[in-house]
Structure 1
Amino acid sequence: MAFSTIEELDHLIELSVDPQDAVTRYNDADAMNDRIMEWFETPQGSIADLPSWGNTLAALQHEPISESLEVLMEIKILKKLSIDCGLQIQGLRLDFIDIDRIDIQIKHQYGAFSSEVARAFQ
């Protein structure tokens, strides 16, 4: 799947600006990192027009923290995020900070994503 351009409407436009000039296109690591964060915040099945898009991690949120759980989550993230966001993931690391927070680091073709996400994936 090819990388799709992320478009954002500039809410500060004036009425004298042409509509096509009000759309800003982002093709860089920051845009992709925003898309990745959105993916973590969106459980699969919660978008009506695109029910297959989103993470599949909700079923694991009550599992006890262990190395096996980290590996299972890394595998699920690697498979699904690559498909949904068109990423070529080159590296993935997941560490539990505490029972409710996870530090996730992803190296991809546009750069790197590093963020703390909530374990409650819904």
Structure 2
Amino acid sequence: MLSAFISSLFAIVVSSLMMLMAWILSARGSKDREKGSSFECGFDPMGSARLPFSLRFFLLAVIFLIFDVEIVLLFPIIIGSFYQINFFIFIGTATFLFILILGLFHEWNEGSLDWMG
């Protein structure tokens, strides 16, 4: 019991020290206009470096990343099923795939996957 408490206390102290060091090291100095401007070979910039960004493209990219990570999470399950198939693994995988397909249909019906329009 005491060793679990000491381990938890050690983890809290170490994580607090890491957060404190990150806060100290990331302290920003004074901001000026030159630090925030883009650099074009020593010349003044011709125009603004902050161009408008397509929100539909950003949403589509985020959806792609989410589904990509979910597919990567399926790979260990598929590889593990070659060695041993279990009813609970099958039910868990089927539930995961059902939620994944349900999310895909929701995004499709919402219109997030329509590039034009």
Task: Assess same fold via TM > 0.5.
Answer: no
Decide which structure has the larger Cα Rg and report it. Answer: 2
Normalising by structure 2, report the TM-score.
0.31
Structure with the bigger percentage of helix: 2
Normalising by structure 1, report the TM-score.
0.31
